[in-house]
């Protein structure tokens, strides 16, 4: 396959300026609520065992079930979107969010809550599907900024989820969180159904059921031990057994994909150098962003006796992340213009350098709460720029009939980075503590180690993407 073959665009479905804005609003809202749902429970996890009369281990499955369902559904639904319609699968994804939110909003049963959260996890495919759909249906001049905004929603939703959850935790029942995602998700679903057209160029074909099962099993065996590493401990044999099984399953999956006519994942296209480097950078960005989440709210909420904390409330801890989310939102159109003028590789590298600068500030300047917030906001700004550039790179180097699958896999790599941050970051914070009476809290040096790793990861990401040649195509070339 030549570069010319890959770059050949699908003819977009043109829309008027006003209609295009509405299409972006509803697709963007769906992406925002999906991202919001993934982080919404983090600040309230500590109060849920008492609220639900269950163990902390059971409560942790409210996050784990969402993570696993998202990892499995994103690549599969992306491929199905290419085959049978991106809008159709986007509606399935947002519909899953609505159904899962309704179930979790009306029950206190831990089993049903976990099931509802798993259904919500299936909605994670809405972000790559939304990116791919808008690239096909919007006017060319609007595609770049639209893709940048929807891609940044993954970070914006995460940053907004923390203060919203803190506010609800201090003033209302936690079920309100799910009513929020239900209402907003329903609005997005109806808007997409009524306003957004289907993209042209469906590839059709047969669903690779064997590949789907192998990939799903491999991802579960990979991500489950990473998400449970803090609870199980790295010395637990279950972690290493599951990781070994994951390696075997993923290897068998790769072998199967090279031998069938309609593979779930086109490994030849995925193996192109620009795609490989972009996905590696995505892992590093996902790692840095999630580490910023876990290293900010808990940091400012820690008692002053730790030597670094400010004894802040859940609400203030969440609000500390809000400027980063606002920076992502405001910088998405700026990033789109940078992509047009300087190219996606340089834009992504710039975002990585900004992230590294933010973590450097977090290491050396932390005496006042405003300094921590500014450092976190710089990380958010860099992440927003980087997230805006990723789909532009993916779209420019992927065959037109595989755009949704490729963006889905890119989102999966971001999630893998977040899982690694949870596992590695959690281990670092747990291994280096200060004793405060009967409580052990992470030490300042533990946070500094985590931030140093994140800054180093961002620098590596910048170097990697500068190895990608710039192509004179717009982010919406497909």
**Per-residue confidence (pLDDT) for residue 318, from 0 to 100:** 80
**Per-residue confidence (pLDDT) for residue 15, from 0 to 100:** 53
Query: Cα–Cα distance between 332 and 152 in angstroms, integer?
Result: 7
pLDDT (average), residues 432-440: 77
CA angle 208, 210, 214 (to 5 degrees): 115
For CATH 1.20.1250.20, the residue range(s) in the chain are 3-208+262-465
Q: Estimate the share of the chain in helix, then strand, then coil, as percent rounded to the nearest 5.
A: 80, 0, 20
- Residue 470, helix vs strand vs coil: coil
For the full predicted model, state whether its pTM sits above 0.85: no
- Residue 222, helix vs strand vs coil: helix
Closest by alpha carbon to 93, among 37, 151, 34, 152? 34
pLDDT (average), residues 52-63: 85
What torsion do the CA atoms of 49, 44, 432, 300 make, to the nearest 10 degrees?
-150
Query: Cα–Cα distance between 138 and 23 in angstroms, integer?
Result: 8
- State phi, psi for 436 to the nearest 5 degrees: -120, 90
Does 12 have pLDDT greater than 80?
A: no
CA atoms within 13 A on the CB side of 376: 31
Tokens of 113: 């809550």
The pLDDT tens digits of the residues spanning 179-219 come to 999 999 999 999 999 999 998 877 667 778 888 899 889 98
Report the Cα 243 to chain-centroid distance in Å.
22
Taking the alpha carbons at both ends of the chain, their separation in whole angstroms is 17
Q: Which burial class, exposed, middle or buried, applies to 310 when counting CB atoms under 10 A from its CB (0-12, 13-18, 19+)? A: middle
Tokens of 247: 């390696």
Among 63-67, 159-163, 186-190, 196-200, which range has the highest average pLDDT? 186-190
Does 43 have pLDDT greater than 80?
A: no
Assigned CATH topology for domain 3-208+262-465:
Growth Hormone; Chain: A; (1.20.1250)
Query: Cα–Cα distance between 423 and 229 in angstroms, integer?
Result: 6
The pLDDT tens digits of the residues spanning 85-132 come to 999 999 999 999 999 999 999 999 999 999 999 999 999 999 889 988
Report the Cα 400 to chain-centroid distance in Å.
23
Does 440 have pLDDT greater than 80?
A: no
pLDDT-based confidence at residue 4 (cuts at 50, 70, 90): very low
> Contact at 8 Å (CB) between 270 and 253?
no
Does 380 have pLDDT greater than 80?
A: yes
Does 8 have pLDDT greater than 60?
A: no
**Per-residue confidence (pLDDT) for residue 33, from 0 to 100:** 93
Query: Cα–Cα distance between 241 and 300 in angstroms, integer?
Result: 37
Query: Cα–Cα distance between 13 and 400 in angstroms, integer?
Result: 14
- Biggest distance spanned by C-alpha atoms of the chain: 66
Task: Compute and round to an integer the Cα radius of gyration of the chain.
Answer: 21
DSSP secondary structure, 109-174, as one string: -HHHHHHHHHHHHGGGGHHHHHHHHHHHHS-HHHHHHHHHHHHHHHHHHHHHHHHHHHHHHHHS-T
**Per-residue confidence (pLDDT) for residue 123, from 0 to 100:** 93
Tokens of 235: 């010395």
Does 298 have pLDDT greater than 90?
A: no
The pLDDT mean for the chain works out to 85
Report the Cα 214 to chain-centroid distance in Å.
23
């Amino acid at each position: 396959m030549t570069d010319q073959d890959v770059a050949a665009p699908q003819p977009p479905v043109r829309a008027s300026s006003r209609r295009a804005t509405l299409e972006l609003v509803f697709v963007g809202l769906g992406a925002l609520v999906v991202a919001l749902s993934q982080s919404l429970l983090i600040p309230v996890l500590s109060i849920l065992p008492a609220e639900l009369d269950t163990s902390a281990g059971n409560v942790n499955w409210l996050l784990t079930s969402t993570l696993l369902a998202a990892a499995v559904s994103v690549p599969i639904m992306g491929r199905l979107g290419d085959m049978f319609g991106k809008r159709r699968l986007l509606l399935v994804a947002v519909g899953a969010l609505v159904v899962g939110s309704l179930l979790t909003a009306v029950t206190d049963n831990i089993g049903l809550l976990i099931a509802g959260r798993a259904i919500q996890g299936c909605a994670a495919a809405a972000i790559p599907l939304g990116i791919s759909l808008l690239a096909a249906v919007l006017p060319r001049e609007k595609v770049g900024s639209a893709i940048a905004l929807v891609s940044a929603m993954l970070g914006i939703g995460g940053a907004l989820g923390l203060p919203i959850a803190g506010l609800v935790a201090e003033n209302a029942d936690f079920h309100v969180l799910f009513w929020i995602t239900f209402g907003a998700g329903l609005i997005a679903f109806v808007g997409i159904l009524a306003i957004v057209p289907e993209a042209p160029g469906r590839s059709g074909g047969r669903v690779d059921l064997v590949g789907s099962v192998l990939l799903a099993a491999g991802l579960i065996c990979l991500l489950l031990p990473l998400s449970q590493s803090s609870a199980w401990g790295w010395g637990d044999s279950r972690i290493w057994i599951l990781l070994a099984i994951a390696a075997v399953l993923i290897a068998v999956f790769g072998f199967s994909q090279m031998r069938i006519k309609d593979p779930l994942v086109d490994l030849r296209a995925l193996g192109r150098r620009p795609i490989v480097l972009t996905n590696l950078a995505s892992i590093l960005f996902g790692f840095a962003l999630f580490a910023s989440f876990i290293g900010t709210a808990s940091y400012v909420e820690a008692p002053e006796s730790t030597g670094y904390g400010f004894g802040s409330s859940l609400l203030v801890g969440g609000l500390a992340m809000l400027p980063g989310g606002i920076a992502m939102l405001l910088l998405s159109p700026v990033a789109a213009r940078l992509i047009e003028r300087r190219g996606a590789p340089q834009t992504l590298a710039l975002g990585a350098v900004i992230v590294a600068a933010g973590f450097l500030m977090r290491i050396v300047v932390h005496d006042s709460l405003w300094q921590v917030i500014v450092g976190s906001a710089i990380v958010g700004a860099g992440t927003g720029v980087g997230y805006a550039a990723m789909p532009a790179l993916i779209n420019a180097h992927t065959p037109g009939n595989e755009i949704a699958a490729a963006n889905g896999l890119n989102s999966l790599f971001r999630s893998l980075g977040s899982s690694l941050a949870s596992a590695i970051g959690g281990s670092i914070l747990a291994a280096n503590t200060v004793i405060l009476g009967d409580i052990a809290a992470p030490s300042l040096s533990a946070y500094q180690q985590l931030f140093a790793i994140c800054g180093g990861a961002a620098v590596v990401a910048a170097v990697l993407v500068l190895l990608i040649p710039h192509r004179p195509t717009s982010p919406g070339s497909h």
